[in-house]
Structure 1
Amino acid sequence: MGREIEMVLRIPRTLAFLAVCLAARATSAIPDAPLPNGNFEEAPDKSQLNGTNVTGRHAIPHWEISGFVEYIGSGHKQGDMLLPVPEGAYAVRLGNDASIQQRLAGLTRGTAYSITFCAARTCAQAEQLNVTVATESDVLPIQTVYASSGWDCYSWAFKARRSAVTLVVHNLGVDEDPACGPLIDSFAIKALHPPQRAKNNMLKNGDFEEGPYMFPGSPWGVLVPPMDEDDYSPLSPWMILSSTKSVKYVDAAHYKVPRGTHAVELVSGLETALVQDVPTVPGRQYRLQFAAGAAGDGCAGDGCAGSMVVQAYAARGSVKVTYQSRGKGGFTRGVLDFTAIANQTRVVFESMSYIMKTDGTLCGPVIDDVSMVTVHIRRPARRLLQNV
């Protein structure tokens, strides 16, 4: 009898222990960090390499490949072309219709995640990478080069429907030479937490502090490519509307940021719009305020005057803000007062010109510290008429 009582007393303690374990398992999500062998520094066995061609499906540790995939070392030459590697000593090249994939475990269902990776063109002209997780898939155009190194880092976001998913990167390009595919390197993942509205701001993530993973020490920023409106944005709830061009997510460690630690550089002129939809009341007046300026990356503006022009739209209102840039940073403030005409108002930012740095790469004005508030109009007091 005494032994049975002891067993009964142990049950609550056992249940409590299980509850703690389950809670720990539920909160132990995948960390914001590079993926296992995300920089491909763990090499295939030499027996599974034919020159640079990877012959085994599982030859690259933590990855599975399909099609013509090459393992490229820094300084590798293809004809007269030198193939640089952005981080470490090795990268992977995807040939025609080739793909590489990795299983991601430890995700939290319903949570949004951003994938960051770097890519570079080689000898093909119109290169596209298809990035897929489960049923979500997007084509990232990489033919436009934004960094002088030839390497750009891209971001892409998805919502986890399971605790374990498979990330697939597939080269959609077809070239006569299968060795003309893009180089890829440096994969990382980050959990995205839904931004909340600030106390005095109807916009979410107006300071752009919530965004994709950025590699420490990387001077290139991270490109946020165009997306369908149903996709989850790495800059949620901001969306990038374009056909083939991107905006650049930059940090205060390498760029001049008007406020906080991050901002957005509009590097694609009129081909790209940065937008967010905000609930509004028709007939009510609102005020949109923002910082527009230079990223301090040598972008000196368009023309002799070095002017950068940002145009903001909301409802039927618009405003142009000009900043005279010398390439060393700085910003000015823009204000737009408008009257809502619908239950939802789209806030839009565009750069009004294409700007290039002296090295020939695209650049543009930075946008930061965006806020929107209701404007309360004081009505004049009624005068009382006195009988004479």
Structure 2
Amino acid sequence: MVQNAPHAALFLLVALVAPAASAIPDGLLPNGNFEETPAKSQLNGTRVMGRYAIPHWEISGFVEYIGPGQKQGDMILPVPEGAYAVRLGNEASIRQRLAVTRGARYSVTFSAARTCAQAEELNVTVAPESDILPIQTVYTSSGWDSYSWAFKARHSAVTLIVHNPGVTEDPACGPLLDAFAIKTLHPPALTKDNMLRNGDFEEGPYIFPDVPWWVLVPPLDEDDYSPLSPWMVLSTTKSVKYLDAAHYTVPHGAHAVELLSGVETALVQDVATVVGRPYRLEFSTGDAGDGCAGSLFVRAYAARGSVTVPHESQGKGAHKRGVLDFTAIANRTRVVFVSMAYTMKNDGTLCGPVLDDVSLVGLHSHAARRFLL
């Protein structure tokens, strides 16, 4: 026993200094696509009976496990990723415990589809942060959309909760959920040639590489942390699309934003400015090459200035550059972008102009003098 004491002490020392469990990597959450199925003994038809029946998840309330060929009346319920999804009934929720890095920012991406209820919404929580995400507007012809939501980790382990706060006559009329993923966000730094952060939208939510659509960034309160931070989406119920170059035409880099729903949705960022100093705002706009054809208009606002950039889209991915010169009237200036038209594709889904490569610079010396003249 005495001879083993040094070995025991060494083991204890290693255990004490060993790093904590590593944070969850970017990508699909454990059983995030619900392909690990509950035991048959834990199912009553489609209803999940056990609180921990779905591997890696905990449920409460009326939760259904939706498989291949499952019907809602005469309609077959589609599943966007793999073969299975879940449905949350009235006041039902699903949750998962996550190992994270304390103080880090994360974005969660998941797919959702409404069923027989109309004005559906989801309450997404990682305590103490919580937001209601509206899902009543459908942006795909399949009925499934991918949503994003961001949070700051206050502890090294947090619980992601998605709750259906709706109350309908049929408890099985709740939304379908599938394909949960996570991504660590790295706050974009200022550069010497751009006063705006994340002007190229390269920092944003996780996009599934094998899903041929976008990720929606929903409207949030101005105090919340956005998946596109420091950009904010201001709207009542509408979102903007976050696109990647693998599936769409983007003007610059690997990502861009598509503005939807006309003036109902604004993309904004606040920036420090000097009163009386002239500035130049530049941006790229056009279409994503996704068949969004027609007259597209992006309007940019800053201080008392505004500019509208039209684009007659053929839906094939063309774009142009817009410029707005203005003089700051306060020590903080809100830069605002909106779409001035409501546009739909042939399948009836909303679309709009693409925004990318946004920059803001102060005008100095001869450039400022020319502007003031």
TM-score exceeds 0.5 = yes
Which residue does 1:228 correspond to in 2? 221
- Structure 1 residue 219: Cα displacement: 1.4
- Structure 1 residue 18: Cα displacement: 8.0
CA-to-partner distance for each residue in 1:138-189, whole Å, 9 max, x for gaps?
0000000001111000000000000001110000111111111100000011
Query: Matches of 1:339 and 1:192 in 2, distance apart?
Result: 33
Q: Secondary structure at the match of 1:202?
A: coil
Residue 103 (structure 1) aligned to one of 83, 86, 97: 97
Equivalent residue runs for 1:160-199 within 5 Å:
160-199=153-192
CA-to-partner distance for each residue in 1:316-347, whole Å, 9 max, x for gaps?
00000011100111101000000001111000
Which residue does 1:93 correspond to in 2? 87
**Larger Rg belongs to:** 1
Which residue does 2:64 correspond to in 1? 70
Moved over 6 A (4+): 17-20
Query: Matches of 2:303 and 2:16 in 1, distance apart?
Result: 51
Query: Matches of 2:222 and 2:150 in 1, distance apart?
Result: 13
Query: Matches of 1:322 and 1:159 in 2, distance apart?
Result: 38
Which residue does 1:363 correspond to in 2? 351
Query: Matches of 1:252 and 1:41 in 2, distance apart?
Result: 28
Residue 272 (structure 2) aligned to one of 276, 279, 290: 279
Residues 1:312 and 2:305 are matched in the alignment: no
Which residue does 2:329 correspond to in 1? 341
Query: Matches of 2:192 and 2:238 in 1, distance apart?
Result: 33
Equivalent residue runs for 1:1-388 within 5 Å:
21-22=18-19, 25=20, 28-105=22-99, 107-300=100-293, 306-378=294-366
Gaps of 5+ in 1: 1-6, 301-305, 381-388
**Identity over aligned pairs, percent:** 76
- Structure 1 residue 198: Cα displacement: 2.0
CA-to-partner distance for each residue in 1:16-35, whole Å, 9 max, x for gaps?
x789844xx48x33211111
TM-score normalised per structure 2: 0.94
RMSD (Å), alpha carbons = 1.8
- Structure 1 residue 262: Cα displacement: 0.2
Q: How many residues align?
A: 361
Q: Secondary structure at the match of 1:125?
A: coil
Structure 1: which amino acid aligns with 2:306? S
Gaps of 5+ in 2: 1-5
Residues 263/56 of structure 1: CA separation in 2 closer, same or farther (3 Å cut): same
- Structure 1 residue 110: Cα displacement: 1.0
TM-score normalised per structure 1: 0.90
Query: Matches of 1:178 and 1:284 in 2, distance apart?
Result: 59
- Structure 1 residue 44: Cα displacement: 0.5
Q: Secondary structure at the match of 1:178?
A: coil
